[in-house]
Amino acid sequence: MINKRKTPPRGPAALIRMQGDVRDALAQALDSCQGLAHLPKQGSVFLKPNLVGLPSKFSVPPFGVVTTTALVEALVRLLKDHGVTRLFLGDGGLVNKEAGTSTQATMDILGYPELVRRYGLELVDLNQGPFEEVTLDGLRLKLAKPLLEADFVISLPVLKTHGQCKVSLALKNMKGGLHRQSKAACHDRGLNLDRNVALMAQALYPDLAVIDGRYALARGPMHFGTAQRADLLIAARDALDADLVGAAVIGQEPGQVAHLVEMARLLGRDLTLPRPLGGVAIEDVRLNLPWDFPWADEWTPAPFAKAGVKGVFMPKYDASLCTGCSFIFNPALVMLLTAGAGKDLDGVEFLTGKAAQPSGRARVSILAGKCIVKELGGDPRLGRVIKLPQCPPKLQDIQDALRQAGVAAELDSFRHFMAGLSKRYPAERGFDPADYQPGAQA
Ligand code: SF4
């Protein structure tokens, strides 16, 4: 019975500048790292890009958030040239009806139906299963069978930081292959996310990692971060090697990235940084991207202090927030910021995730999400309690709860914020939406 993927034989890592035709850069990277040396002559190949979620009901820039379609298409063509006939392409992205996010919606936005038409590949929404349940060091996870059963899996993440895991590269990218409940289980109340990510990644270990650095994202993993054009490509047969190079390029000391440290421990390896082939030195392209959103003090997001929002207790997000509650955290922050700029909101507390603790000083405490309601529901340190027991709460419910707390919150302020994100990415700084669509047919 298959319940874990095997780690592939290691080879060199490659670091390439993506200049000119993306197919040429990809071919050079794969040649340098001998990435296709173990590609089975027959059998299935599964491409796992990062499709974390583009909303269909808001327009948000994809830069640095999801894998470029240009790279996906280049890889599909290259694999076709190598004689691959059974090709799957999939992920298990964020599902949020209000924002219109789902794996299928993201695939549609990125032009994947056209890739199907051109190349005959099969799209897979890993959220739909089937799954196989495993227990790894006490952690029960349901793993997507299409990944377990593929003969060759390629992880195609973006070169991005992550507000909880510092970096999200080829190993973390495999988390899309978990059942929704297992994704949430990784964000346990004991804050063991890094260990859980390493256990998950060992079970879903890919056979090849290709990190898309056309754009790199600071303060990822979502569009609330800031992207820059980087024109880099990292590839290695071994995903940990690729991630060590990727972390170093991002500007993170690999020894400080806990899930990489844990992965090395699980594999019985050290964290020696591979010297990548391809003619580019890491020191020459290091980006030094911030990964964290700063807080002015224990209760105050830095933008609140800057905008003069007073009287709010909003502890920093922690590793117990899974994607659903992470997705509502920013709208709550934007609504509070917009409604509270230059004002004293007189003791409004916003708590979410599984591990947040009350200030003991709030007039009113909003508990957002079924987990925090369960954890803190009767806690005497809370102010007047407003419970949002959904998993996760709706954006509309966040607005309504803030209003009940006396804050003149407007969900539209968040919509305007989202609409304004595109202004960060002008064409003259190299941001090209065409990278997220299939190219002209050759
Ligand atoms: S309530 Fe929030 S933190 Fe809890 S499982 Fe649901 S989305 Fe995750």
Nearest CA to ligand 1 atom 2: 325
Q: Distance from the CA of 44 to the center of ligand 1, in angstroms? A: 35
Evaluate whether 52 touches 75 at the Cβ level (below 8 Å): no
Question: Probe ligand 1: pick from 321, 326, 351, 390, max atoms within 8 Å of CB?
Answer: 321
Look at ligand 1, atom 5, and give the residue with the nearest C-alpha: 184
C-alpha 183 – ligand 1 centre gap (Å): 10
Q: What is the DSSP letter of 4?
A: S
* CA torsion, ordered 297, 300, 305, 310, to nearest 10 deg: -120
Of all helices (H) and strands (E), which one includes residue 313? strand 310-313
Amino acid identity, position 390: Q
Q: Give the ligand 1 atom nearest the CA of 322.
A: 8
**What is the distance in A from the centroid of ligand 1 to the CA of 17?**
39
- Cα(392) to centroid(ligand 1), Å: 5
pLDDT along the chain (442 residues), means of 10: 82 95 97 96 95 88 97 98 96 91 96 97 97 95 97 98 97 98 95 97 98 97 95 98 98 95 96 94 97 96 97 96 91 96 97 97 98 95 97 95 97 90 93 95 64
Q: How many angstroms does the Cα of residue 184 sit away from the middle of ligand 1?
A: 7
Residue among 325, 328, 352, 394 whose CB has most ligand 1 atoms within 8 A, to mutate = 325
Which residues in 59-157 belong to E strands, given as ranges?
86-91, 122-125, 131-136, 139-144, 152-156
Domain ranges of the chain: 13-291, 295-409
Q: For residues 313 and 431, give the distance between their C-alpha atoms in angstroms, rounded to a whole number.
A: 37
Nearest to 220 by CA among 378, 380, 53, 370: 53
CA of 37 to the centre of ligand 1 (A): 42
**Distance in angstroms (rounded) separating the CA atoms of residues 42 and 418:** 45
* Plot region of 369 (φ>0 → left; ψ -120 to 50 → alpha; else → beta): left
CA of 390 to the centre of ligand 1 (A): 8
* Shortest-distance atom of ligand 1 to CA 323: 7
**pLDDT for 440:** 81
Distance of CA 150 to the CA centre of its chain: 23
Res 359: pLDDT: 97
* Closest CA to ligand 1's atom 4: 371
- Select the CATH number that applies to the domain covering 13-291 from these four: 3.40.50, 3.10.450, 3.40.1110, 1.10.3470: 3.40.50
> How far, in Å, is the centroid of ligand 1 from the Cα of 78?
40
Which residue lies with its CA nearest to atom 8 of ligand 1?
A: 322
| Rounded Cα–Cα distance for residues 157 and 153 (Å) | 13
pLDDT at 442: 61
Q: Who lines ligand 1 at CB under 6 A? A: 184, 321-322, 324-325, 353-354, 369-371, 391-392
Closest atom of ligand 1 to 371 CA is 4
Number of H helices, E strands in the chain: 15, 17
Nearest residue by C-alpha to atom 6 in ligand 1: 391
